[in-house]
Structure formats: structure tokens, C-alpha cells
Structure 1
Amino acid sequence: MTSEPAYQALFLGAGPQMQCGVGHFTRLLQETIEKLDPGSCGSLTLTRSEGTAADIWRAIGSARSVVCNFPIVAWKRVIFRPLLALGIARLRRRRVVLIQHEWGGLHWLRRITYIPALLLADTILMFSPLVRRELADDPLVGWTLRKCVLAPLPPNIEAPAGIADSKLRQRLAAAREQGRLVIGHFGSIYPGKQPNALLQIGAILKERGLNPLIVYVGSFIRGVDTVEDDFYARAAELGIIDDVMVSGYVASDHEVFGLFSEIDAFCYPLDEGLTARRSSILTCVQSGRPLIVTGPALPDEFDHHPRFKELIDRGAIVLVARGSEDEVYADRIAAALKWPSVQAPFDFDGWWLDVAQAVRAQLP
């Protein structure tokens, strides 16, 4: 005689290592579902030293489903154990819900490690129709499209009640007092965000005499790419190496929004256009500063995400037509200086409630 599983869902995580965006998302999602249905969620910590096959077998036996935001922590640290857990879940006839944020924008080596998770999943939760189409176009695993369900992505970071000062914030404040135009870019720096494209726009603004300072609030992702070297080489080539600052890791949300308070406008020129999976955009919007970004590639990109669509409709996010020249972005940034700063209410809990309900709908 077997006992009834104690949990509706078992979340795979990496314990204290979960300081990256993937880990933070997993924690917030589990906490929100737990608030909706106390006692319904369990967690399993998988690290290089924790999570033996026996541990995984017992933990999965305690739940009716397994939720995996793969990779559960920064890529290359913990890959085998989550895949082992998904395999055991299928063996034990537990439902597997895989959360997949990207596809086409991933380096091909990363996509290879993701393929087993796609194959083992019963449901693949995605946040963007464009990413879903990228998966559908993949000649190897495109057939997994039939498992895909769209959900609305919330921001990982909530604007705090107060802000924290820092040496970098003081430098930005001093720059603004000297009449410099501070342009912001928030989030991890990697090729998919086209960080070098903003450098060209900064060079145009400098030629116009607007004295820009481009601030990247985030750090470079360490991987097989040479994105950091390419970034600084391009800045030097454009003659703006002294007009660019990269914060590196910022320890607290209060410090992040302290830096945001000294930014005049945010700008994201994206080859793929704005997608509904851009959590960093949603974090920036909460600052009330103008945000200029390339328009979406698909007309239905936000049909499943009314909250995101509302931000665009009311002008909190300003779209630039795809294919526009860099001068158009420069024009929009210059125009944004004349716009009033609007700190509109942002229902952070409501955004998370939406995605929690979407995930719960996939659980047995």
C-alpha cells in the first residue's frame, strides 16, 4: 500500500547558490503558489554535493508533479542532477512541468544540454510567442511545440519603498549635475541583449553634443562567448570608452533602484525586438523613467500578457519600429528628456499571481 503524495508540486532548486535570475524566479514562483495553496509545495535542493539518486527518488515520491526552471542555477554548475530528477519523475509517473525562458538566443552548446529536459517534460511553460516559434522551427525538437503553454512573465525585482546610496550612484549624480545625459541598460550583459548596439547610439548622441554617459547596471555573463572583450573593443573603436560604465554585480534591490534614480532614460535596441519574456524591462519600468526599446517581431507577442501590453499602450514603454536606424533611437532618447517622470502604481503581487495561476493550471 502506497501513501498519497504530500505535495502537489516539488520545485527543483539549488539552495543558497540560487542567486541568479533563474533561481530567484523559482523561489518567488514557489512562494506565490504556496500562498495560494498553503502546504501544496515542496522543494528539493540539487547542487554538486547535494541530491543523491536516493534523495531524488524519495523527494519525487512525495509529490504529484515536478516543476523545473532549467537550468536551476547558472549554466554549467548543476546540470546532471536536475536531468536525473526529471528522468526519475517520468519513471515514477509524476507530471513534469518545465519552465523554458529562451531557445533561439541560446548558444548551441547550451541548447544541447536543454534538449533532454524538453524530451522529459509533459508541459513546457514559455513566456514569449517568439521563443515558442523558435522552438517550433528547430529541426531536432520542434515537435515538442505541442507541449508548450504560454504564461505571463512577471518582473523578478520589486521597486522597494526606499533606495540605497552607493559610490556609483554618487558618480552618476555628479555626472548629471555636470549636464551629462545618463542612459541606462539593466540586467545581465550577453549577446542576446545586443549590448554593443547601444554603444553606437551613444556615439551618435556624443556627436550631437549631448555628452552621454551609458551605464550598464549588471555584469557580463561568463561563458564561451567573448562578449566582454568585444564590448570594450567596440567602445574604444567608437571613441566612447570613457563614456561607458559597467556596474558589475549589485548586491541589493535598494541599490539597484538608487542607481535607477540617477538615470535619465533606458534604451534597449534589440535585434529580436521586445518580447514578453524581458523581465529586465519590467524592472526598469518601475523606476518611472522613459524606456525606449525595439518593437516586437510578432503582432501577437503580448496577447497572452495584458499587463505587459498595458504598459506599452499607456506609453511607459516606447517602441521603435524594427529596422530603424540608430539615429531614430537617438532622437527618441533626446525627446525623452522632455517627458515628465511618471511613477505609476505597479501591482507586483498581481503580476506574480498571474504566473502562479498559470503554473497551477498545469499541475495534477
Structure 2
Amino acid sequence: MTSDPRYRALFLGAGPQMQCGVGHFTRLLQERTEKRDPGSSTTLTLTRTEGTFGESWRAVGSAQSVVCNFPIVAWKRVILAPLLALAMAKLRRRKIVLIQHEWGGLHWLRRLTYIPALLLADSIIMFSPLVRRELADDPLVGWTAGKSVLAPLPPNIEAPKETADSELRRRLAAARKAGRLVIGHFGSIYPAKQPNALLHIGAILKARGLEPLIVYIGSFIRGVDNVEEDFRARAAELGIADDVIVSGFVASDQEVFGLFNEVDAFCYPLDEGLTARRSSVLTCVPSGRPLIVTGPAWPDEFDHHRRFKQLIDRGAIVLVPRGSDDDAYADRIIAALKTPSTQAPFDFDGWWQDAAKAISVKTT
């Protein structure tokens, strides 16, 4: 066994080939940790072909703590490998830091796969007081919320200096030129984000003669739910099937922000309300477009996250009170479009330094 670990933190990752938000977050966090303290961390890559038992054992022994953003990739892949690494860390008396983004919004089968990690963790990093309450209310593992601390979540994507053209961008530009109202929604599409709610708002805007075109910049998460089928059926029922576009996977940040430039306003009607873990909402802010979002469920949601709170205070994010009907969202969208948009400087690196600092405290 290694008596004098070389690194303060070992990050469990899935390599750059895994194109998913969880993997991207881990890479950015490790990069910022290294920037703050060069040589203090390293990464163990776990895929179906990388990260043998011996490699994992040696890597765990080389660090004081193991940081796991679980699941490290899409939840149906490489589930056992990180759990095995965490078990090794426990055996080798290394500190285990688990990063937990959500709880109540997860399908119950996904929550089952998280339970071993929750039990093994010494510290649980969470980004939202609401999610911490959800975990605390769980009858089986609610006690593990006592190991949790809050950290400020940064956005996953930095606005590039230049944007890229695409067929979809040209389609949106043509729609705007023809007088259509382009409403955007960015990020993965899954039940917890209530994708169908925006369809209802689009139907109201269409009934008001505003010719909306709703563009979902992202793709459906594959799972056991019939999310896409239900979404398509609901759009057809509302008579707006031809007014909805789902981009699917977008290859580059330059293309993403090229699409953002052709959006008039973003709208996120969320049943749980806005939480401090909504990285997809934060990513839209540098576009300067109005962001209409459901207000938080609890007044303390952003007390730990001064940068997020500042965005709300200065009106970059427009809150709609929870419980409002769809007409209220339509009204806010129309009102926001009458206000000149501003593209204020966005300190992407500063957001990530805040997160790295908060999390690094728990690795010592």
C-alpha cells in the first residue's frame, strides 16, 4: 500500500471520448483544480476497456481522496467500475468525495445505482438546497444528507469567441426574418425538466397570432420512460407539431452558440422551480437573450451561490412565480422581448474557480 500519496485528489472519469454532461463536468473540475494547485490531482479513466482492477488499486493508493461525479458517464454504462474504485478507497482508508447533482428527479432505478456510492462517501457535494432536502426526505438513505455540503455550480459550456454556422441556424434565422418568434430550450430533454410544459406555452403564443417556433437545443435522454413519444404526441394534440424542432446532438460549442444567436427568448417552466443546479439555464445567460424561468421553491435556494443570485437580481434571469398558469409565461416572454437585451461580461473561469475551491476543501 502507498504510505505517502502523490496526489491530494484522484478524479474518476470516463475519458474525452465520452460526450456527456457528467463527463465534461468532471474534466473541467479536474482542470480547474490543477490550475489552482498544480500537481495536486490526477484522473483515473474508467471505460469498458480502460481501468483494470490493478490500475484502479494503484491509482486509488496514489491519492489522499477519490472524487466521483457519479455516474461518471451515461447511467447504463460503466456503473460497477466507479463503485469498485470507491470500495477500494474505503479499504485503503482514502477519503471519498461524491458529487451528487440530483435525487428526487431521478428514476427510481437510477436512484438504486446511486445508493452504494452514497453509503461509501465521506462527503457529498450538492449544488441545490432543494436536492439536499429531497435526499434528506428519502426513507432509505435520507440520513446520508448529513454528510452533504453545498457548492456553487458553474455552467458546463463557455461562450466561444466565434460561433459556427449550421443548417439549423440558417433555418432559425429564416424563421425570424419571416417574423416568427423563436423560443429556445437548451439541454438534455427528460421528464424532470417538464419539456411538454413549454409546448403548452407555445400553443398559447400561437393562439395569440405570434407564430412561435420552439427549438429544443439538445436531445432526449434514453431511459425507461417514453419521453420522446409522449412529447411528440402532445405536440400533435396541441396542433403545434410543425412548430417544434428538436436539434439532437450538437457537435460543438460554436454551433450551440450560433443557434443561441437566433433565439428570441429562452423559457424553462419547471415544476420544481429554478434550482442552483440548473447548468443548462446558466449556459444560456452569455447569449444576452431573455431567460424566463419558474421561480425557486424555497427562498434560500441561492444563498450559497452569489453569482447565480446576482444574475437574478440584475434581471438576466426573469422569474415567474411558481403556480402561475401558462398565460403568465406567455405574458413574461412578450414583456421581456420589449426590453433591450444586454450581453454583460460572463466570468466563466471565475465560476469554475469558485466551484473548484469549494470542492477542494473536502478533499483534504
TM-score normalised by the chain length of structure 2? 0.99
| One-letter code aligned to 1:153 | L
Seen in structure 2, the aligned counterparts of structure 1 residues 13 and 208 have a Cα distance that, compared at 3 Å, is: same
The aligned counterpart of 1:212 is: 212
Check whether the contact 1:288–1:344 (CA below 8 A) recurs between aligned residues. Answer: yes
Gaps of 5+ in 2: none
The aligned counterpart of 1:56 is: 56
**SS of the residue 1:362 aligns to:** helix
Seen in structure 2, the aligned counterparts of structure 1 residues 297 and 31 have a Cα distance that, compared at 3 Å, is: same
**SS of the residue 1:286 aligns to:** helix
Note if 1:363 corresponds to 2:363. Answer: yes
Check whether the contact 1:17–1:73 (CA below 8 A) recurs between aligned residues. Answer: no
Check whether the contact 2:118–2:124 (CA below 8 A) recurs between aligned residues. Answer: yes
The aligned counterpart of 1:315 is: 315
What aligned pairs does 1:96-111 form with structure 2 within 5 A after superposition? 96-111=96-111
Distance 2:109 2:141 in 1: 15
Per the TM alignment, residue 363 of structure 1 is displaced from its structure 2 partner at its CA by 1.3
Per the TM alignment, residue 49 of structure 1 is displaced from its structure 2 partner at its CA by 2.1
**SS of the residue 2:138 aligns to:** coil
Distance 1:337 1:63 in 2: 52
**SS of the residue 2:362 aligns to:** coil
Distance 1:192 1:344 in 2: 30
The aligned counterpart of 1:6 is: 6
Distance 1:196 1:146 in 2: 35
**SS of the residue 2:68 aligns to:** strand
Distance 2:350 2:301 in 1: 20
Note if 1:200 corresponds to 2:177. Answer: no
| One-letter code aligned to 1:55 | E
User: Deviation digits for residues 28-87 of structure 1, max 9, x if unmatched?
Assistant: 000000011100111111111222221111111111100000000011111000000000
**SS of the residue 2:266 aligns to:** strand
The aligned counterpart of 2:343 is: 343
The aligned counterpart of 1:115 is: 115
Seen in structure 2, the aligned counterparts of structure 1 residues 2 and 185 have a Cα distance that, compared at 3 Å, is: closer
User: Deviation digits for residues 307-351 of structure 1, max 9, x if unmatched?
Assistant: 000000000000000000000000011112211110001000000
Check whether the contact 1:288–1:343 (CA below 8 A) recurs between aligned residues. Answer: yes
Which 4+ residue blocks in structure 1 deviate beyond 2 angstroms? none
Per the TM alignment, residue 3 of structure 1 is displaced from its structure 2 partner at its CA by 4.3
Distance 2:265 2:322 in 1: 20
The aligned counterpart of 1:233 is: 233
User: Deviation digits for residues 78-105 of structure 1, max 9, x if unmatched?
Assistant: 1000000000000000000000000000
Check whether the contact 1:99–1:125 (CA below 8 A) recurs between aligned residues. Answer: yes
**SS of the residue 1:111 aligns to:** helix
| One-letter code aligned to 1:311 | L
Check whether the contact 1:163–1:257 (CA below 8 A) recurs between aligned residues. Answer: yes
How many residues align? The count is 364
Per the TM alignment, residue 18 of structure 1 is displaced from its structure 2 partner at its CA by 2.7
User: Deviation digits for residues 261-316 of structure 1, max 9, x if unmatched?
Assistant: 00000000000000000000000111000000000001100000000000000000
Q: How many percent identity over aligned positions?
A: 80
Distance 2:266 2:3 in 1: 54
| One-letter code aligned to 1:16 | P
Distance 2:341 2:299 in 1: 28
The aligned counterpart of 1:41 is: 41
Check whether the contact 1:183–1:263 (CA below 8 A) recurs between aligned residues. Answer: yes
Per the TM alignment, residue 2 of structure 1 is displaced from its structure 2 partner at its CA by 5.0
What aligned pairs does 1:1-364 form with structure 2 within 5 A after superposition? 2-364=2-364
| One-letter code aligned to 2:116 | P
Per the TM alignment, residue 16 of structure 1 is displaced from its structure 2 partner at its CA by 3.3
Check whether the contact 1:89–1:95 (CA below 8 A) recurs between aligned residues. Answer: yes
Distance 2:92 2:17 in 1: 28
Distance 1:168 1:157 in 2: 20
Distance 1:2 1:350 in 2: 35
Distance 1:262 1:307 in 2: 26
User: Deviation digits for residues 194-221 of structure 1, max 9, x if unmatched?
Assistant: 0000000000000000000000000000
Distance 1:16 1:126 in 2: 24
Of stretches 14-23 and 32-41 in structure 1, the one that deviates more from structure 2 is 14-23
**SS of the residue 2:345 aligns to:** coil
Distance 1:53 1:174 in 2: 54
| One-letter code aligned to 2:11 | F
Check whether the contact 2:294–2:322 (CA below 8 A) recurs between aligned residues. Answer: yes
Distance 1:106 1:347 in 2: 31
| One-letter code aligned to 1:252 | S
Distance 1:309 1:121 in 2: 29
Distance 2:197 2:146 in 1: 35
Distance 1:151 1:295 in 2: 20
Check whether the contact 1:272–1:297 (CA below 8 A) recurs between aligned residues. Answer: yes
